[in-house]
Amino acid sequence: MEIRPVGRSALLIEVDDPLAWFAALDAERAAGRLAVTDIVPGARTVLLDGVSSIAAVAATLRSWPPPPRSARDADAISIPVTFDGPDLSTVARCADLSVDALIAALTGTTFTVAFGGFAPGFAYLSGLPWSVPRLDNPRPRVPAGSVALAAEFAGIYPTASPGGWQLVGRTDTVLFGIDRDPPALLTPGLCVRFVAS
């Protein structure tokens, strides 16, 4: 584990399993044993913000054993997807599969929300069985609800925006609502399954 101060009141820790650390740290915060205001997982890091004493929290973290590897929840949220994206055939060739086999692989995978970013409601879903290259030239506009793949992640664009991910389908599921609690439908640690519609 690498621990680095960020500004005056935050710590960034680099760890092998950010979701496991996120869950362990969040449990410690909920139990009142960790005085931080925010815990934000990333691809390979966890950010602790609102740290009252950087030196004391860093020392505490160094004394902890690594938490058990993150486990998938038995309950997964199902997202209906129409698999008709413009890059579906390209991704199938990348994975050395037929389009039907690609769809079967995507609907047979339980993804885990690794972290959020890029836009409110956008979740990086880990669990993709292969790596998918980004587009050489990003699209100036990707429609909201586009189901996309890039590198080792799947994701769904919550709003229309530019993007360089490979588009394999679309969904009508609303991913972000300011009146919801929490506003993002997909939060770190949640399991997600695509269901062909």
pLDDT tens-place string over residues 49-84: 999 888 888 988 888 888 887 655 556 899 999 999
Q: Which two tokens stand for residue 138?
A: 């990003």
Average pLDDT over residues 16-27: 89
pLDDT tier for residue 117 given thresholds of 50, 70 and 90: confident
In this model, does residue 118 exceed pLDDT 90? no
Question: Percent of the chain at pLDDT above 90?
Answer: 68
pLDDT at 168: 98
Average pLDDT over residues 4-17: 92
CB 41, CB 19: distance < 8 Å: yes
pLDDT at 35: 87
The mean predicted confidence, pLDDT, of the chain is 92
Average pLDDT over residues 38-48: 91
pLDDT tens-place string over residues 123-157: 999 999 999 999 999 999 999 999 999 999 999 99
What is the reported pTM? 0.81
Domains of the chain: 2-63 (3.30.1360.40), 76-196 (2.40.100.10)
pLDDT at 71: 55
